[in-house]
């Protein structure tokens, strides 16, 4: 009987990206950027783009596979997939959906992509401007609870209350991302390092988030009535990931963990077993998070906070680079490379990439 | 009546056209706090849904509460994300666990000094804030720490 697993079934053959621009400054349309990135990935994979026969994306990407297929002159479009819901939480799931399609024989060569040019379409997830609202929004917006930061700050406060997590722990996440961005010339925050004083003196967005705790472009609505509230939503998912991959947290050489907000990363780390809640303040320090020497190198190209705001897709690319040895902050001998996508939204997703050596 | 907690210009709430939450919003106009209670198994739940999360019955009724609860979490908002809030200053959003409602939680503003120290677990009571300006009439449910 065949195992129901993706372990060792599919390979990432190529990655591609365009230059990253500040919001509103992209010189080309969103569709053109997406096509360029796809062509770049095809070249990196050493294939003719017309071998592509499927697409997978997430977070309500606007660039439809049918249009991409027509634009590229593809002879066949066999897989056209959108991960449903969860915004940036779907980044790893999009990769998994593509992998499952290939493994099941639905397609042979699938591109997973994220194309975003917000200046062209208006700010992603902008607060409601309608005069009246119904549904869940009616229970939140009139009280001034509208933005993603406002949706999730209460989870961070609850996390601090339940487990005594200090704000320095959140700060370490931010400092690590910014540190790695300084080695990455592609990063939007390259040349703009962050130090403790700047972090601490930055304005509050919504307590306990200061400016540098927040990825600025985000989506996400929260549920405030889930029994388990101060969670990144990985508690049941992380064990499944490790089981499929056949590894434990101590086997993970390098981690890309989606920072919508620094507190979300802290929750992600705890829920993926890298430390217990009561150990978080001691374990999650800048020193432990930096490549190449840290115990858990994190967001090694700068992440959502400091590389670019591609709703986490840049994390997928960096996870691949670490296994190829081509990262700007390379972890020596990395063979197990992990991504967590979310956090605090639903559904979330995660993935582990392994080199041939890791597969054994 | 004292001034509203937040300035005018924020979106006004309206009941859903399909009636799912009509009893809640009607209740607020009468200064009654209501949440769903399953007619079949008696479980309370909030925000409203067509089905009981516990027993999967579609027979959802309502329960009127005393309007007491405890702060489960909170945040102090500084950055204004809506033009109406541009010059308002910080305000507090609270997530309140409702008494006698199977731990259902509700969002509201926490009245009083916006810079107050907020204690998770503090006992609070509901305060209704009527809005009868313009074309829409509605009532919000805020919270105040009880001594």
Closest Cα to residue A31, out of A114, A125, A122, A123?
A114
Per the annotation, the verdict on A309 as an active-site residue is yes
All residues of chain B having their beta carbon less than 8 Å from the beta carbon of residue A153 are 75, 77
Contact A203 B79 (CB under 8 A): yes
How far, in Å, CA of A239 to CA of A247, rounded? Answer: 10
Contact B107 A150 (CB under 8 A): no
B17/chain A closest Cα distance in angstroms: 8
A residues 133..152 contacting B (CB < 8 A): 133-147, 149-150
All residues of chain B having their beta carbon less than 8 Å from the beta carbon of residue A227 are 103
Contact A132 B11 (CB under 8 A): yes
Contact B47 A134 (CB under 8 A): no
Query: Considering CB atoms only, which of B76, B82, B103 is closest to A146?
Result: B82
Query: Before A208, cis peptide (omega within 30)?
Result: yes
Helix or strand run (H / E) with residue B69 = strand B68-77
Query: Considering CB atoms only, which of B10, B21, B75 is closest to A153?
Result: B75
Contact B93 A133 (CB under 8 A): no
ipTM of model: 0.97
- Counting one residue from chain A and one from chain B, the pairs whose CB atoms sit within 8 A come to 121
Provide the 3-class DSSP secondary structure of residue A244.
Answer: helix
Looking at chain A, which residue has its C-alpha nearest residue B109? A143
Instruction: Using alpha carbons, list the distances in angstroms from residue B41 to A58, A227, B52, B59.
Output: 38, 19, 9, 10
Q: Is the distance from CB of B105 to CB of B72 less than 8 angstroms?
A: yes
**Predicted local distance difference test score (pLDDT) of residue A226:** 84
Provide the 3-class DSSP secondary structure of residue A12.
Answer: coil
pLDDT in tens, chain A (360 residues): 567 999 999 999 999 999 888 777 888 999 999 999 999 999 999 999 999 999 999 999 999 999 999 999 999 999 999 999 999 999 999 999 999 999 999 999 999 999 988 776 665 444 456 788 999 999 999 999 999 899 999 999 999 999 999 999 999 999 999 999 999 999 999 999 999 999 999 999 999 999 999 986 665 666 788 889 999 999 999 999 999 999 999 999 999 999 999 999 999 999 999 999 999 999 999 999 999 999 999 999 999 999 988 888 999 999 999 999 999 999 999 999 999 999 999 999 999 999 998 887
Closest Cα to residue A170, out of A196, A203, A147, A148?
A196
Spatial CB neighbours of B7, under 8 Å, sequence gap ≥ 6: B84, B85, B88
Instruction: Using alpha carbons, list the distances in angstroms from residue A24 to A117, A215, A220, A226, B41.
Output: 7, 16, 21, 36, 53
Per the annotation, the verdict on A212 as an active-site residue is no
Q: Is the distance from CB of A30 to CB of A117 less than 8 angstroms?
A: yes
Closest Cα to residue B35, out of B98, B85, B114?
B98
Chain B contact present for A124, CB below 8 A: no
B45/chain A closest Cα distance in angstroms: 8
- The string of DSSP letters for B94-121 reads EEEEETTTTT-EEEEEB-S-TTPPP-TT
**Predicted local distance difference test score (pLDDT) of residue A221:** 65
Interface test mutation site (partner B, options A136, A137, A138, A143, max chain B beta carbons within 10 A): A143
């Amino acid at each position: 009987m065949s195992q129901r697993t993706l372990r060792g079934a599919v390979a990432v053959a190529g990655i591609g990206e365009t230059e990253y621009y500040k919001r509103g400054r992209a010189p080309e349309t969103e569709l053109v950027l997406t096509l360029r990135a796809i062509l770049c990935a095809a070249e990196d994979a050493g294939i003719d783009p017309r071998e592509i026969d499927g697409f997978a994306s997430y977070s309500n990407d606007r660039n439809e596979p049918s249009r991409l297929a027509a634009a590229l002159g593809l002879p066949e479009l066999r897989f056209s997939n959108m991960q449903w819901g969860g915004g940036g939480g779907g980044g790893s799931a999009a990769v998994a959906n593509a992998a499952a399609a290939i493994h099941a024989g639905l397609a042979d060569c699938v591109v997973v992509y994220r194309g975003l040019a917000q200046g062209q379409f208006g700010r992603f997830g902008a607060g409601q401007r309608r005069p009246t609202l119904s549904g869940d929004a009616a229970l939140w917006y009139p009280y001034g609870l509208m933005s993603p930061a406002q949706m999730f700050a209460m989870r961070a406060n609850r996390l601090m209350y339940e487990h005594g997590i200090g704000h320095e722990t959140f700060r370490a996440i931010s400092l690590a991302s910014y540190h790695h961005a300084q080695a990455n010339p592609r990063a939007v925050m390259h040349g703009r390092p962050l130090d403790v004083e700047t972090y601490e003196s930055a304005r509050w967005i919504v307590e306990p988030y200061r400016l540098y705790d927040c990825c600025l472009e985000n989506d996400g609505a929260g549920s405030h009535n889930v029994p388990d509230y101060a969670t990144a939503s990985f508690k049941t998912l992380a064990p499944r990931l490790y089981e499929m991959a056949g590894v434990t947290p101590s086997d993970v050489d390098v981690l890309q963990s989606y920072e919508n907000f620094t507190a979300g990363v802290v929750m992600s780390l705890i829920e993926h077993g890298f430390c217990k809640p009561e150990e978080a303040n001691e374990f999650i320090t800048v020193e432990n998070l930096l490549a190449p020497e840290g115990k858990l190198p994190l967001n090694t190209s700068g992440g959502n906070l400091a590389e670019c705001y591609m709703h986490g897709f840049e994390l997928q690319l960096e996870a691949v680079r670490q296994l190829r040895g081509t990262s700007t902050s390379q972890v020596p001998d990395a063979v197990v490379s992990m991504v967590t996508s979310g956090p605090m939204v639903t559904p979330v997703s995660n993935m582990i990439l392994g080199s041939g050596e890791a597969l054994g | 009546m004292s001034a509203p907690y937040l300035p005018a210009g924020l979106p006004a709430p309206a009941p859903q056209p399909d009636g799912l939450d009509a009893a809640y919003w009607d209740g607020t106009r009468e200064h009654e706090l209501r949440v769903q209670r399953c007619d079949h198994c008696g479980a309370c739940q909030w925000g409203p849904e067509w089905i009981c999360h516990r027993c999967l019955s579609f027979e959802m009724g309502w329960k009127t509460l005393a309007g007491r609860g405890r702060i489960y979490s909170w945040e102090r908002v500084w950055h204004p994300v809506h033009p109406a809030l541009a010059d308002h200053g910080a305000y507090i959003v609270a997530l309140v666990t409702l008494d006698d409602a199977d731990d259902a939680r509700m969002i509201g503003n926490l009245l009083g000094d916006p810079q107050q120290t907020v204690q998770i677990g503090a006992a609070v009571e509901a305060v209704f804030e009527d809005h009868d300006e313009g074309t829409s009439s509605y009532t919000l449910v805020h919270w105040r720490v009880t001594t």
